[in-house]
A = this chain, B = another copy of it.
Amino acid sequence: MPEHLGAPLIEPLFKRLAVIGVGLIGSSILRVARQQNLASALVAIDSTDVVCSRARALGLADYVTTDACEGVSGADLIIICTPVGAIGTVVAQIAPHLSGGALVSDVGSVKGAVVAVAQPHLPPSVHFVPAHPVAGTEYSGPDAGFSTLFLHRWCILTPPDGTNPSAVDAMRAFWVGAGSNVEVMTPAHHDLVLAITSHVPHLIAYNIVGTAADLEEVTQSEVIKFSAGGFRDFTRIAASDPTMWRDIFLHNREAVLEMLGRFNEDLAALQRMIRWGDGQGLHDLFTRTRAIRRSIIAQGQETPAADFGRHGDLGGKDPD
């Protein structure tokens, strides 16, 4: 039952939105901002010429430039959509060129480290409301974005202590306009929540795909042929952008190591159940985990279709 973005706003929320980093997320923000009339003018900024050319060809913005300092001038909303590791440098670079009263945000998947590197550079005349839209696909680049990427997904805002509440409200209005649900929490709590709901899942997906690739008893060709047994599910998130994910692990180290420790403890217990033939223990866990998926589906965060609904795409036809 696909739903659509509602009617566009009659009055835009911002005069001039500058998006820095025009990849999957940045280009999706530009698309939804255009479609929903979230800002009067759109500026796309990317350090790479080839990305700027694509942004122009796709008509993503009114103005496209490689020069971040020029691009942010006159903007009342600036959203930094680079990998987390580049945010500090970008903020330092644009800070002197920001207009007084401007709202600066980002979309990084780590928030504590971003606040720590960005805040010292920002003049007191601008507002800083870091954000993390929990949405994405395994594809990257300006062609991969689409305007409904954020629809019904959650966007987490992590304003530092002392942020002007009206700046938080303005940022919330933007993400609601993009179709998202919005929640506010501290950067530290965000980093813990995302470590378990996103970062450790990506880590173990990357890891098992790597393990499977390195075996000598089982060929690569066998891994590929028989991947429908479960393995292929992991390859989707293990195909995500390598630079983005390197930066996430380097910048959310403590929370990731903490959650990975829990994962490892539980896996050791499970390994022991298998070694000692504890069928009841296995059955109990496998029953408990079913309920979580039901809740995720009930709350509209997952498709109820069998096998993610992908049967039709793989040379199968719809269930009869």
Q: Give the B-binding residues of A (Cβ under 8 A).
A: 1-5, 31, 35, 109, 134-139, 144, 146-149, 151-154, 156, 181, 183, 192-194, 196-215, 217-218, 220, 222-240, 242-243, 245-247, 249-250, 253, 256-257, 259-260, 262-264, 266-267, 270-271, 273-275, 277, 279, 282-283, 285-290, 292-296, 299-320
16 other contacts beyond A148-B311, A220-B295, with CB at 8 A cut-off? A136-B307, A138-B293, A144-B306, A148-B316, A154-B225, A193-B226, A197-B230, A198-B229, A206-B270, A211-B262, A211-B263, A215-B262, A227-B302, A232-B301, A301-B314, A302-B310
Most interface-central of A134, A215, A225, A318 (chain B CB within 10 A) = A225
Residue of B nearest to A275 (CB): B257
The main secondary structure of chain A at its interface with chain B is helix
A183 and B302: CB pair below 8 A? no
The answer on a CB contact under 8 Å between B302 and A197 is: no
A300 to B306 CA separation, bound complex (whole angstroms): 18
The residue that A271 contacts in the complex, of B134, B250, B257, B285, with Cβ under 8 A, is: B257
Best-buried of A138, A194, A235, A312 by chain B (most CB within 10 Å): A235
Pick from B5, B194, B211, B245: contact of A286, CB below 8 A: B245
